[in-house]
Amino acid sequence: MPKRVFGFPKNIFFLGLTSFFNDFSSEMVLSIFPAFFTSVLKTGAGSLGLVEGIADGASNIFKAYSGVLSDKLQKRKLFVIAGYTLSEITRPLYLFASSVGGVMGLRFLDRVGKGIREAPRDAILSISAEKGAMGASFGFHRAMDTLGGILGPLAAYFILLYFPLKFDYVFLTAFVLGLFALVSLFFIRDVGQVFSSKSFSLPFAKGKVPLRFTLFLLSMFFLAMGSMPIAVLLLKTEHIGLLIASIPLFYMVHNISSAGFSYIAGKTSDSVGARKVILAGYGMLLASYAIIGFADSAFTLALGFFVLGLFPALTDGVQRALAAELSPPELRGGAFGLLHATLGIGAIFAGVGGGLLWEFYSPEFALLVASMILVMGLVLFVSSSLVREVGSSNS
């Protein structure tokens, strides 16, 4: 019987604590990016979308290989520690960044760290979860992750409020908080010896991934292309004339919504099915696009970001739980890697394309195009579930 902490298996609790401190740190940085780009780097949505799309998307390819390699070595904790450490050491280096290229390089390294750790970490989470509690375990992790994401923007807001344009103070504070994430990793037990894996190849290479998982990935790719980076969406504050210091507050509203519903979404997925919860999540994303696009006041914009927060709450952890259900345990790290890589490649198109449309056409047009792509992805997602049902009935 695994040791428990506050009712959760030890690994799940401490991985949640790690994500809490890491996101407290990283979300401080991300929440000020729109203000940092416009006031210090003197650029707009095109550059911001490029940085977020390329860095978040391209680095996610590492997730596929880190997941498969962790399956082979059966030492997943090593990848988790290395990934969080790489992300942490980038935070103080923003003090010296003075160009879009410099920020892109640091953001890329940060996301490479995320790519190295995330699939092996999700494998540890899924294997450590108790039977019948997969969605709840991922939901708890997501809630802790987002709780840190609430406090991070709030701290950034107060720093910029009392020390206007002192972005260096934010970067240094983020670095100190990130150290606590690294300390909490020492309490995690590796689960690499649960399975024995001798091959080092992507699960697709030898047909080891079921058709239903392949179709699931295809739908996730289109849905990711329609999911614009929140850093770009936060630029809407400029269009309605709000102060720079207020930008982190809207990000905080988004994270409050996300944290409040993440665990509930995970528990709900265990009872009604992950696919229904994921569909509801992307429905919330479409609704948030409509509200943000037409927002002309701080209240309406805050409402839009609250609804937007329901999207990751209903999809992030639940998508990973569904991926776990659709993949064999001995290839779980590789399966998570493929999911993250697919979402990352889609994020490149969402960031670069969405940012350019936002800057050179209009926010409303960018959101309209993103909505159309989301509808295509939802059609594919529903179709993939129907194919799975047919296949199951014939087996």
Model pLDDT for residues 331-342, shown as the tens digit of each residue: 666 677 788 778
Which tokens go with 141? 């992790």
pLDDT in tens, 343-383: 888 988 999 999 999 988 999 999 999 999 999 999 999 88
Which tokens go with 194? 């649960």
pLDDT at 333: 65
| CA pair distance 169, 376, nearest whole angstrom | 43
Determine the average pLDDT of the residues in 289-295.
Answer: 94
Helix 211-225 with 363-394: angle, nearest 10 deg: 170
Which tokens go with 47? 């550059």
| CA pair distance 350, 373, nearest whole angstrom | 10
pLDDT in tens, 64-101: 677 677 777 777 888 899 999 999 999 999 999 888 88
The total of other beta-carbon atoms located within 10 Å of residue 324's CB is 24
pTM for the full predicted model: 0.80
Determine the average pLDDT of the residues in 300-324.
Answer: 88
Residue with tokens 């050491």: 89
pLDDT at 210: 66
| CA pair distance 238, 105, nearest whole angstrom | 26
Task: Answer whether residue 177 shows pLDDT above 70.
Answer: yes
Residue with tokens 């799309």: 53
* Domains of the chain and any CATH numbers: 10-185+209-394 (1.20.1250.20)
| CA pair distance 67, 107, nearest whole angstrom | 21
- Concatenate the DSSP letters of all residues of 171-204 into one string: HHHHHHHHHHHHHHGGGPPP-GGGS-----S-GG
| CA pair distance 157, 341, nearest whole angstrom | 32
Angle at 79 between CA 75 and CA 49, to 5 degrees: 150
pLDDT in tens, 94-141: 999 888 889 999 998 998 898 888 878 888 888 877 776 777 777 788
Which tokens go with 297? 């006041």
Residue 163 DSSP code: S
Structure-model confidence comparison of residues 153 and 206, the more confident one: 153
Determine the average pLDDT of the residues in 152-180.
Answer: 93
Decide: 83 and 113 in contact? Cβ < 8 Å.
yes
Determine the average pLDDT of the residues in 240-262.
Answer: 86
| CA pair distance 29, 106, nearest whole angstrom | 12
Residue with tokens 């390089």: 105
pLDDT in tens, 184-203: 998 888 775 444 444 444 44
